[in-house]
Amino acid sequence: MNDKLSHYDSAGKVSMVDVGAKTETQRTASARAYIALNKAVLEALPTNKKGDPFEVARIAGIMAAKKTSDLIPLCHSLPLTNVDIGLTLDENGVEVIATASTVARTGVEMEAMTAACVAALTIYDMTKALDKSIEIRQIHLLEKTGGKSGTFRREKG
């Protein structure tokens, strides 16, 4: 693990990381978010008057990944080659897995994380009329590949 934060210059001022000397490589990242929903909300998902929450969340997640550098101040703007949002319903809620890919000089972890968060927030927005106590939990990076630091995979559990 690196013991130095990358977004500070030698004088301790906030600085955007210069990636100009890095090599462009294929990079991917996957992130997870979980939306805990009660039984009544889960049963109402197919009849939501606002539309299909999963399809709206999928589009919102893709759009969010594309706008990450507009939301996170020191994030580089990346030419995304793909964004995929997977939504899986279980007996306690919805799992969101967002995957982003690029060929660039820096990674796509922030794009995947942003996509997962916004997809989860969209599910909340579309179901909040039924329950204000919905929780978004367990937002984290699952995996990243490419670049100098290589592959990272989150340990299970």
CA 41 vs CA 50, 131, 144: distances in Å: 14, 7, 33
125 is catalytic: yes
Evaluate whether 68 touches 110 at the Cβ level (below 8 Å). Answer: yes
CA 123 vs CA 30, 64, 139, 142: distances in Å: 19, 14, 14, 21
Report the C-alpha gap between 134 and 143 in whole angstroms.
26
Catalytic residue among 3, 9, 84, 125: 125
Residues with active-site annotation:
125
